[in-house]
Chains A and B, each alone.
Chain A
Amino acid sequence: MIGIVSYGSYIPKFRIKVEEIARVWGEDAKKIKGGLGVHEKSVPDVDEDTATIGVEAAREAVKRAGIDPEEIGAVFVGSESHPYAVKPTATIVGEALGVGNDYYAADLEFACKAGTAGMQICFSMVKAGMIKYGLAIGADTSQARPGDALEYAAAAGGAAFIIGKDPIAEIEATYSFTSDTPDFWRRDLQPYPSHGGRFTGQPAYFRHVISAARGLMERYSYKTEDFDYAVFHMPNAKFPVRAARMLGFSDEHIGQGLVVRAIGNAYSGSSLLGLAATLDVAEPDERVLLVSFGSGAGSDAFALRVTDKIKEFEREPKVWDKIERKVYVDYAIYLKHRRKIKA
């Protein structure tokens, strides 16, 4: 039985409210909050980036697993805000964790689904007998052009999953749906991403998320009723709620993982933080459907079954506790933290 052996998460403590961003750009905060379903978003500190968020999330995962870091045989970091254009984040994380030098490593990029892609690779490597444990991280300090609609949700955070045998949540099945759909992109040397506006909805998010979920269910004979929880990628709160309804899930299935309302969209960390928040409360034998989405575009779907091992697993502090620990900043401090203005 192979699956999630441990997990950890990290959310920077700073938050900016939608009202504060709307004030600067002269927009109607009520309308934006109603449209996106996001109330505030997380903001990294001046000395935080994807590497530091990845290390903090991974350290929590290693500590909870109670394993020797040297037993980790692979480190994959999925992000679209790797600190370097060329030079891996994975080696920084591996070194900080004390993984040693005997490990496979790579940085992954597939917009918001690079973290789940790392989980699939680790799952396959454990299954193939190449490694004992693999570490998959999804972390981002998401970029958004000031004044762009993305700015209201582009947030920072990440989650780390250790994949191995004897798990707290078995990966029963995984399936991906992929197509060439240019809904969101960032060209080389450009500081901010561009997107196709409304095009990011139906042909991009919904087509891939629904197809991946249905593909997983058809191929591995699951029904909606087989799942106790569902977690979808959360670019805003509206999309995952609508995707859940299209698949026949109720608000109770997705409420626990819907972290986007309180922290925004942490890109590669988004669906994984939702999964971590869900595992925080899940009971043995409950089943979780996880469907990520990465622009460009693709979705990775997972059927996860929680095992008895979760009972003795340390789940404190929970993701929602971390969400509650916050310090608000205004727009000027936010710009400083995002290194958009310098002394």
Chain B
Amino acid sequence: MVPRSWRKIRYRYDVRGSYCENCGNYHYPPRNFCPTCRRKGKLVETLFPEEGRVVSYTVVREKEPYIIALIELDNGARVLSQLSCEPGEVKIGMRVKKAFRRYGEDGEDGIIHYGTKFVPVD
């Protein structure tokens, strides 16, 4: 678990995705091969905008309910992320911004996983 989580730090800690300079598409998580342009693709890493809006969401009711949302960032890229707010607060179209939060931990003696979630814009 440690190496797997470590490999994801760069794009989890901040919303770093890939951008294809050939077709202009964004991808998150980042890809190393453009699914549209295939071999002609020219991918570069890029830091995505801080804010976006909720395109759709679902409330996962497992122990404590939490929200998974499809978020369209201001560059048009779509990311799937946990939304940190009350299930009753979330609405399609609401403005959200990135927040650095805990994802979880590997038990009491394991590593703590951190990453980006989204929260409502005040």
Contacts and interface: CB of A to CB of B under 8 A. Distances in A.
Interface stretch (B18-26, B72-80, B97-105): B97-105
Contacts of A98: 14, 47
Interface in B30-86: 47, 63-64, 84
A47 interface: yes
Contacts of A55: 100
B112 interface: yes
B84 A92 contact: no
A96 B14 contact: yes
B48 to A, nearest CB: 13
A107 interface: no
A48 B101 contact: yes
B117 interface: yes
B13 A52 contact: no
B104 to A, nearest CB: 9
Contacts of B106: none
Given A45-B84, A51-B114, A96 B100 contact: yes
Nearest to A327: B86
Interface residues of A, number: 20
Interface string B93-122: 000000111110000000110100100001
Given A83-B112, A95-B13, A343-B63, A49 B102 contact: yes
Interface in A69-103: 83-84, 87, 92, 95-96, 98
A301 to B, nearest CB: 32
A56 interface: yes
25 contacts: A45-B101, A47-B102, A47-B103, A47-B117, A48-B101, A48-B102, A49-B112, A51-B100, A52-B100, A52-B101, A52-B114, A56-B99, A56-B100, A59-B100, A83-B112, A87-B111, A92-B13, A95-B9, A95-B10, A96-B13, A96-B14, A98-B47, A317-B122, A325-B122, A343-B64
